[in-house]
Amino acid sequence: MSDSATPTVDAVELTVRNPASGELVGTVAVSTPDEVTAAAAALRAAQPRWASISAAGRKQWLLKLQDWVLDHTDELADSIQDESGKPRVEAEVEVAFTVDLLGYYARNAAKFLADTAVSPHTPLMRIKKLTTTYTPYPVVGIITPWNFPLAMPTSDLVPALAAGAAVLLKPSEVTPLTPLVLARGWAEIGAPPVFTVVSGSGATGAAVVDNADFVQFTGSGPTGRRIAVACAERTRPYSLEMGGKDPAIVLADADLDRAVNGITFGALTNAGQLCVSVERVYVEAAVYDEFVNKLVAHVETLRLGRDDRSGNIDVGPLANQAQLDIVTRHVDDALARGARALTGGKATGEGNFFEPTVLVDVDHSMSCITEETFGPTIPVIKVADENEAIRLANDSEYGLSASVWTGNKSRGQKIARRLTVGAVNINDATINLFNFALPHGGWGQSGTGYRFGGVDGVRKYCRKQAITAPALPTQKSELVWYPYSLKNFGFMRNAMRAAGARGRRRFGR
């Protein structure tokens, strides 16, 4: 994952190359810290008007952006392919994801942000009308990684805008082009100036953190922890998503064909560069050999290479040389320790391609099991039963998501609740990301807070305000106001005890 908020000195210009070919596809000027500060100030000045038009008014702008995205699908997909090298289908999935997300939050934000009437905790407080309101943070700083140049930024941008915040977005320095296309679309529809993209790496990201009222970061653990410290020092709220090592559990009663197809997709989509990609597979011994044979046969049918608009490629390249080095190190480490690659196992030597790889005879001493790989590998481990599978699946510092493959629905539900992760897919993989009504977030070193999804995906970008108001005609003074009186307080105390205590203690006995 990108370390794009590390406070290092940036170059004057970012050079973007297609990882499938190495060819230059564009350059982007780096935003200096002073420019980031100025951008944040402009957003802060524009944000009150954006908040004042209400969720209903913001809905119209989000739907206009949705129209623009649909009308520019090819341009956006071309840009995604140019800077990421991914297959055409995966590029267009990002566009479809964005369209769906815009529609969901545009149509639901008003309901999610409506004042909430709160029931009093005790009958004594029924004399009060209790309300919770939601006021957006003025400027939300968003820092995103390189694996999905469009879908990563929009996952955070859309709910933040829907909440009424202004957004200062810093995409990864590896894939900075597509977010600029989206920002151009926001300007072309004539939307208020509450969305700005700043480009750069460490110094730019640090300036975003310094100038934001709320920070949403997705990327590596070390950078996320540094951002958490910086936010804590400024008493700024934040949310972090910092990767995963997601396990899949295949039980003996599973539909093995579906499990093979789903796990292959879940592990290798976007060349494995997905936060919720399957990175470990635990298979019950009774079906282990059959599963592995089917898995290898399926993986060997996948088409690896550089795609064009034809959509004839399944697996594309890794994003950069650094990621290729990580995947190579993990596979080489496993092979040196006794693992076997039943298919794949090495870089192709062209571009940043690495062969889709199935590893067996692996264990929890190997980096391919303990560290986030973020590449096209599928390590498989044989287990005696579901208890061993659950124990090993939970043996990780990460806890983003998992999948369980079983023919017994009840069994799948029970196992899901024993896994220490933020999301579990039963007989499916990665699908939780496309169900926007669900919260998306990780446990452990996978992050803190929830990134997007449902009502909390919008409310996270708001400050809650509690309001009390009289529900009945008021008196000139309350029983517990000055001057103090034990007699008056005694009446109040006895009423509180009668309403809240239990048994004879309710009556002071």
Note the pLDDT tens digit of each residue in 159-195: 999 999 999 999 999 999 999 999 999 999 999 999 9
Q: Is 394 helix (H, G, I), strand (E, B) or coil?
A: coil
Q: Report the alpha-carbon distance of residue 407 to residue 405 in Å, rounded.
A: 7
Q: Active site includes 368? A: no
- Any idea what DSSP says for residue 452? B
Helix axes 151-163, 54-71, angle to 10 degrees: 160
- At 331 the pLDDT is 98
- Any idea what DSSP says for residue 355? -
Six token digits for residue 388: 């061993």
Quick one: CA dihedral 4, 10, 14, 16, positive or negative?
negative
Q: Pick the closest to residue 1 from 197, 148, 104 (CA basis).
A: 148
- At 7 the pLDDT is 45
Note the pLDDT tens digit of each residue in 4-21: 454 455 679 999 999 999
- At 492 the pLDDT is 87
- At 438 the pLDDT is 97
- At 11 the pLDDT is 78
The whole-model pTM stands at 0.96
Q: Active site includes 279? A: no
Counting as low any pLDDT under 50, the low residues of the chain are: 1-2, 4, 6-7
- At 491 the pLDDT is 87
Q: Which of 241, 355, 371, 386 is catalytic?
A: 241
Six token digits for residue 124: 């004594």
Note the pLDDT tens digit of each residue in 383-415: 999 999 999 999 999 999 999 999 999 999 999
Q: Is 500 helix (H, G, I), strand (E, B) or coil?
A: helix
Q: Pick the closest to residue 159 from 168, 150, 167 (CA basis).
A: 167
Q: Report the alpha-carbon distance of residue 40 to residue 33 in Å, rounded.
A: 11
- At 507 the pLDDT is 87
Cβ neighbourhood burial of 128 (10 Å; 0-12, 13-18, 19+): middle
Chain centroid to CA 298:
29
The CB density around residue 244, as the number of other CB atoms within 10 Å, is 29
Contact by Cβ (8 Å): 11, 32: no
Contact by Cβ (8 Å): 373, 272: yes
Which residues does 185 contact at the CB level (< 8 Å), separation at least 6? 65, 68, 69, 72
